[in-house]
């Protein structure tokens, strides 16, 4: 399963992809000389499930959590919205780091659980499911690699409670891989679709209001029982958000549409497109008219214009 990779200069990622049975030597425990070093200089991307766990832990809405504790970023120039932890003001440390360790340990994000292992998800264009492999992150400050404890990556994932986190982020990872493997043929997503992706993936409380709205109910035919279940459970709603995005971004229809409302929507969209084209043509005509008027003046006033 292991395969040589090209080393990235200065990167702490060991350039070798390995499988779940690969054995690593690592242990992290209170009292180790580098305690908290990894949380003092963070670059942590969050998954949708990480956000649900964190906002629940802090007793705030996803909108508040995003505003207070995160910064948005673009993932690998693919026009895909991502979210990272915002460090402390004027510093690089995690806001949840305390002298005794992580203050949100039971709900810490996926990246914190995985460290010093990195998850690499890949999907080939002609394959629907993604394949997962791993790489080791070796940073000079981390003394955990010097502790003589050997463990397979599979057991380490179990020990750190990563399996549940990965399972619940699968739909999100598939969306990202789908966009990446679609390549430039699909082009950069519109601002509207990026906003929709951000809301559905990261701001679950706003997505909740959206699904509950009259406009959503008019367009999508959700059985009352299913809707009630989604409205009561953030994790179910998050899985539904991934389905919803697959439908609106990639045309993978799994949510029934109200045919009449969908037709009305398409007609409205066409009418709007025609209006935009008409307005653009009018603006162009006015611009050309203005150009010729200027040129006529030039002929009359200067007598030296080269126009025939
Ligand atoms: S959430 Fe906890 S483990 Fe993760 S960087 Fe912050 S303090 Fe460290
Ligand atoms: S051993 Fe590594 S992971 Fe553990 S506290 Fe030290 S730097 Fe962080």
**Tokens representing residue 164 in the block:** 């549940």
Q: Residue 162 is part of which domain span?
A: 16-181
Q: What is the pLDDT of residue 130?
A: 65
Is 0.85 topped by the overall pTM? no
Q: Is the pLDDT of residue 167 over 80?
A: yes
Beta bridge partners of 97: 102
Is-contact 148 120, C-beta < 8 A? Answer: no
Distance between Cα 144 and ligand 2 center (Å): 6
| Mean pLDDT, range 81-92, rounded to an integer | 96
Asked whether residue 204 is domain-assigned, the answer is no
Q: Is residue 105 part of a domain?
A: yes
Q: Which atom of ligand 2 is nearest to the CA of 28?
A: 4
Report the residue count for the chain: 308
Relative to the CA of 29, which ligand 2 atom is closest?
4
Residue 101 falls inside a structural domain:
yes
Task: Report the separation in Å between the CA atom of 94 and the middle of ligand 1, taken as the mean of its atom positions.
Answer: 6
Beta carbons within 10 angstroms of residue 222's beta carbon: 16
Overall number of domains in the chain: 1
For residue 303, CA distances in Å to 214, 293, 297, 307 come to 66, 15, 9, 10
Q: What are 220's strand-pairing partners?
A: 257
Say yes or no to pLDDT of 304 above 90. Answer: no
Kindly give the distance from the C-alpha atom of residue 36 to the centroid of ligand 2, in angstroms, as a whole number.
6
Residue nearest to atom 5 of ligand 1 (CA): 39
CA distances from 159 to 48, 114, 271 (A): 22, 10, 57
Residue pair 163/49 in contact (Cβ under 8 Å)? The answer is: no
Rg (CA), the chain: 26
Ligand nearest to the CA of 144: 2
Q: Is the CB of 198 under 6 A from ligand 2?
A: no
113 lines ligand 1 (CB under 6 A): no
Residue 202 lies in a domain: no
- Cis omega (within 30 of 0) for bond into 53: no
- Cβ neighbourhood burial of 266 (10 Å; 0-12, 13-18, 19+): exposed
Read off the pLDDT of residues 88-111 as tens digits, 9 standing for 90 and up: 999 999 999 999 999 999 999 999
| Overall average pLDDT of the 11-21 stretch | 83
Ligand 1 pocket, 111 CB below 6 A? no
CA of residue 105 to ligand 1 center, whole Å: 7
User: Per-residue confidence at 125, pLDDT binned at 50, 70, 90?
Assistant: low
Q: Is residue 57's pLDDT more than 60? A: yes
Distance from C-alpha of 51 to C-alpha of 43, rounded to nearest angstrom: 16
* Residue 44 Cα to ligand 1 middle (Å): 9
Farthest CA pair distance, the chain: 92
In a domain, 305, yes or no: no
Residue identified by tokens 């690998």 is 76
The preferred substitution site among 29, 93, 142 for testing ligand 2, maximizing ligand atoms within 8 Å of CB, is 142
Phi/psi zone of residue 31: left (φ > 0), alpha (ψ -120 to 50 degrees), beta?
left
Whether the CB-CB separation of 119 and 136 falls below 8 Å is answered with no
Q: Is residue 154 one of the residues assigned to a domain?
A: yes
Greater confidence (237 vs 284) lies with 237
Burial of 168 (0-12, 13-18, 19+ CB in 10 A): buried
137, part of any domain: yes
Dihedral sign for Cα atoms in the order 125, 130, 136, 139: positive
8 A C-beta contact, residue 177 and residue 130: yes
Nearest residue CA, atom 8 of ligand 1? 39
Sign of the CA dihedral running 120, 130, 176, 153: negative
Is residue 191 predicted with pLDDT exceeding 90? no
Q: What are phi and psi of 2, to 5 degrees?
A: -75, 145
144 lines ligand 2 (CB under 6 A): yes
- 306 within a domain of the structure (yes/no): no
Give the pairing of strands 80-85 and 70-75.
antiparallel
Residue 3: per-residue pLDDT: 39
């Amino acid at each position: 399963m292991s395969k040589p990779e090209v080393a990235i200069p200065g990167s702490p990622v060991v350039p070798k992809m390995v499988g779940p049975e690969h054995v690593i030597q690592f242990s992290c425990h209170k009292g180790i000389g580098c305690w908290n070093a990894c949380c003092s200089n963070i670059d942590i991307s969050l998954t949708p499930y990480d956000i649900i766990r964190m906002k629940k832990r802090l007793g705030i809405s996803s909108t508040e959590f995003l505003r207070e504790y995160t910064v948005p970023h673009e993932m690998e120039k693919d026009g895909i919205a991502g979210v990272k932890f915002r460090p402390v003001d004027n510093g690089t440390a995690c806001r949840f780091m305390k002298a005794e360790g992580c203050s949100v340990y039971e709900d810490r994000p996926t990246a914190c659980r995985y460290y010093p292992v990195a998850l690499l998800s890949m999907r080939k264009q002609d394959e629907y499911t993604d394949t997962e492999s791993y790489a080791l992150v070796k940073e000079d400050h981390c003394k955990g690699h010097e502790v003589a404890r050997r463990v397979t990556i599979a057991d380490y994932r179990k020990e750190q409670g990563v399996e549940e986190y990965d399972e619940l982020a699968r739909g999100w990872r598939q969306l990202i891989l789908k966009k990446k493997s679609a390549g430039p043929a699909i082009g950069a997503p519109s601002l509207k679709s990026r906003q929709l992706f951000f809301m559905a993936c990261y701001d679950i409380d706003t997505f909740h209001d959206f699904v509950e709205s009259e406009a959503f109910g008019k367009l999508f035919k959700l059985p009352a029982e299913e809707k009630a279940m989604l409205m009561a459970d953030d994790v179910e709603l998050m899985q539904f958000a991934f389905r919803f995005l697959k439908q609106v971004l990639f045309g993978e229809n799994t949510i029934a549409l109200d045919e009449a409302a969908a037709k009305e929507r398409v007609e409205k969209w066409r009418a709007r497109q025609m209006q935009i084209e008409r307005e653009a043509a009018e603006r162009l005509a006015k611009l050309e008219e203005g150009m010729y008027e200027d040129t006529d003046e030039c002929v009359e006033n200067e007598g030296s214009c080269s126009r025939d």
